[in-house]
Structure 1
Amino acid sequence: MSVLVIGGDNLGNIENNLKEKGFNRITHITGRRSREQTYKVPKDTDVVLILTDYVNHQTSKNVKKQVKNSKSKVIFSKRSWASISKSLKSFIR
């Protein structure tokens, strides 16, 4: 499975924890104002994880619009692993 994480300057242990949950391809975008703001969500992404305490509303809105007609699922969470794990439970069975 693949995950695109948007938000946060670095992932720290979140990347390792996502690998343990079965995500073999992890892409990270900081969500800060820069050239990355014009990114495209890859078509083969299974989950888009938005770290809500590190991105603005416009970024979230842009991502939801891109994912609307794809097979990807958008999950919103705070940056803590406990919050991320709880949000992922609905996706990972």
Structure 2
Amino acid sequence: MNALLVGADRLGNIPDVLQQFGIRIAAHVSGRDSAHQRRSAPLPAGIEMVILFTDFIGHNVMQRFREAASREGVSLVCCRRSVCALQQALGKRIAMDSCDRCGACPERSATGRRRH
């Protein structure tokens, strides 16, 4: 799976964690450029997941990439830039994605929507 990482100047051990989940970094944007706050350009081609490091980006940058992910139907993961936070967020996201596929999750309400 190809991911776009948004936030943080340095990634540290993040690439190793992503590799454990089968995720490849297709692009990394620090979010510091003022153009990232204003424009609503499409995501790069081939992106299947957007990972936002919330402690390193502003609200406008976060909103822009959230909207782009939603518009293009791409998975979105938001977390702090730490190995533990990323592992937890990816674990939850993968569990939710598999729940969406099977439809038999006991966490679903009578309407079929997830409650978690």
- Partner in structure 1 of residue 114 of structure 2: none
Partners of 1:85 and 1:29 lie apart in 2 by: 20
1:8 match: 8
CA displacement 1:1-53 (0-9 Å, x = unmatched): 01111000011110122112101343211111255x25642243121000001
Give the TM-score taking structure 2 as reference length: 0.69
Aligned to 2:66: 64
Contact (CA 8 Å) 2:6, 2:28: kept in 1 or not? Answer: yes
Corresponding residue for 1:88? 90
Select the structure with the greater relative contact order (CA < 8 A; seq sep ≥ 6). Answer: 1
How many residues align? The count is 92
CA RMSD in angstroms comes to: 1.8
1: CA distance, partners of 2:57 / 2:74: 19
Which residue number corresponds to residue 107 of structure 2? Answer: none
State the TM-score, normalized to the length of structure 1.
0.84
Aligned to 1:24: 24
Change (3 A) 1:63 1:52: same
Query: Percent identity, aligned pairs only?
Result: 25
